């Protein structure tokens, strides 16, 4: 496969587009990609949320992905890749990424915001979602930062190698898991199952038949187009549609307080999705 093939991919996003909306009117969603992955693989999800009236901030976690390019042209490599054999590494990673989320919230909602559209953000309605390690980090961010109102873990284990992500005292905020059927509440992921059990507020564990770990990102679509078998039996486009719809449903329910029957019962429109736990 030619290395430059991904540089030819077109998205629906526009550079330097003027933000639209009224002051203090738009909920904010922060997205975090998987370990070593660029934020770009969550473009489809980010664009969908933005098109439905959310402000979306995606984080490129410096030193945790293979290359992060700064505005001045400097490139930071994956320094942390040398450490991931340590049993407690991912616990530290989740805490570090949770701190990244808090920093982004400070920069977007503080007194001197870093983005010209920050005045549109309603800082009383903030959600965090992520894929894989980014999903575990989303939960860690909600545990550690009172500003985060809801979190979604997309197929990510919360194995820290030590202390659980959700403390023994529990957590009473909305939390959802979207996963493959192999990674459901009856799987051998004892860490996520335990953390889910300690989450005492509204919660859902949704499994999607026919998906593989990468299906929830743009890589599922690319795999189909390139003829690469990643283990998914539904199309990448279908997996993307399901991911977008259910992520948006969780945030619409808890940040916009709009009823979401999709989260209460099975849907004939999305027969792949099962509400595996509540």
Q: Alpha helices of 42-88 — where are they, by DSSP H?
A: 43-51
Which residue ranges make up each domain of the chain?
A: 23-277
Task: Identify the weakest region by mean pLDDT among 7-16, 36-45, 121-130.
Answer: 7-16
Q: Alpha helices of the chain — where are they, by DSSP H?
A: 43-51, 89-109, 133-144, 190-198, 219-226, 236-255
Kindly tell me if the per-residue pLDDT of 261 is higher than 90.
yes
Confidence tier at 78 by pLDDT (50, 70, 90): very high
Kindly tell me if the per-residue pLDDT of 5 is higher than 90.
no
Kindly tell me if the per-residue pLDDT of 215 is higher than 80.
yes
Task: Identify the weakest region by mean pLDDT among 56-70, 92-106, 119-133, 190-204.
Answer: 56-70
Q: What mean pLDDT do residues 117-146 have? A: 97
More confident residue, 10 or 208: 208
Mean pLDDT for all residues in the chain = 94
How high is the pLDDT of residue 17? 86
What would the two tokens of residue 243 be?
């991911």
The pLDDT tens digits for 182-195 are 999 999 999 999 99
How high is the pLDDT of residue 12? 83
Global model pTM greater than 0.75: yes
- Judged by DSSP in three states, 259 sits in coil
Question: How far is 257 from 178, CA to CA, in rounded Å?
Answer: 20
How high is the pLDDT of residue 213? 98
Confidence tier at 3 by pLDDT (50, 70, 90): low
Contacts of 137 (CB under 8 A, 6+ apart): 32, 93, 94, 97, 98, 100, 101, 128, 130, 156
CATH number of the domain at 23-277, please? 3.40.50.1820
Kindly tell me if the per-residue pLDDT of 71 is higher than 80.
yes
Token pair 């486009």 in the structure block, residue: 237
Q: How many CB atoms lie within 10 A of CB 90?
A: 22
How high is the pLDDT of residue 83? 86
How high is the pLDDT of residue 202? 98
């Amino acid at each position: 496969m030619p290395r430059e093939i991904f540089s030819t991919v077109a998205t629906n996003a526009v550079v330097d587009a003027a933000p639209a909306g009224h002051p203090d009117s738009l909920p904010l969603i922060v997205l975090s990609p998987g370990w070593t992955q660029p934020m770009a693989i969550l473009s489809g999800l980010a664009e969908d949320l933005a098109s439905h009236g959310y402000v979306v901030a995606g984080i490129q976690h410096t030193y945790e992905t293979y290359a992060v390019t700064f505005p001045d042209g400097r490139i930071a490599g994956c320094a942390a890749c040398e450490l991931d054999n340590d049993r407690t590494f991912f616990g530290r990673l989740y805490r570090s990424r949770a701190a990244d989320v808090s920093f982004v919230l400070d920069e977007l909602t503080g007194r001197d915001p870093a983005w010209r559209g920050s005045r549109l953000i309603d800082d009383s309605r903030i959600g965090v979602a992520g894929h894989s390690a980014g999903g575990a980090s989303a939960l860690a961010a909600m545990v550690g930062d009172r500003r985060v109102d809801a979190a979604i873990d997309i197929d990510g284990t919360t194995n820290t190698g030590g202390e659980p992500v959700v403390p023994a005292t529990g957590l009473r905020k909305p939390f959802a898991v979207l996963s493959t059927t192999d990674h459901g509440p009856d799987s051998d992921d004892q860490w996520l199952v335990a953390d889910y059990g300690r989450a005492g507020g509204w919660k859902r564990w949704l499994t999607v038949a026919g998906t593989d770990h990468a299906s929830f990102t743009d890589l599922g679509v690319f795999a189909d187009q390139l003829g690469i078998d990643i283990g998914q039996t539904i199309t990448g486009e279908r997996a993307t549609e399901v991911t977008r719809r259910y992520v948006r449903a969780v945030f619409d329910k808890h940040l916009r307080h709009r009823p979401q029957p999709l989260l209460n019962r099975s849907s004939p429109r999305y027969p792949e999705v099962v509400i595996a736990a509540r």
